[in-house]
Amino acid sequence: MRDARREAWPDWRSASTRAAIGAQLDGFGEAWFGPAERPDASLSAWLRAHGHGGADGRVRAALERARAAGQALPPDAAPSGPGPAHRRFLDALVELRQSVERVAVELDLVLGFNDNDGD
């Protein structure tokens, strides 16, 4: 997301709807925090158990901001040009990505994102 250009919003979002964007964020949330019935079986639980609760909290807060910004998008979420709600959402996604990257740095992991990562 760091290199996402706001003016390219219609292209890189592939005409996603607000509901689809919300589902994608919910999928990330479940992958990070575990399913509702097993939150103890998650990366989040592992991080907290191993002294990285602050990092986990930053991801949680960034995800909540991204969800809130996503809910503020228009229902079709892909206008011909990005407006203020789109800019706030993109900024929230950048913050979320950076919070995940900081966790990787804390754990001394190498992350690689590219055009073929399935997003």
Q: What is the pLDDT of residues 83-109, one digit of tens each?
A: 788 889 889 999 999 999 999 888 988
Domain assignment present for residue 1? The answer is no
Tokens of 115: 């055009």
Residue 119 lies in a domain: no
Q: How confident is the model at residue 82 (pLDDT cuts 50, 70, 90)?
A: low
d(CA 107, CA 100): 11
Tell me which residue range forms the domain holding 18: 6-106
Q: What is the b/e burial string over 7-24, where b = at least 16 CB atoms within 10 angstroms of the residue's CB?
A: eebbeebeebebeebbee
Number of domains in the chain: 1
Q: Examine residue 112 and state whether it is found in any structural domain, yes or no.
A: no
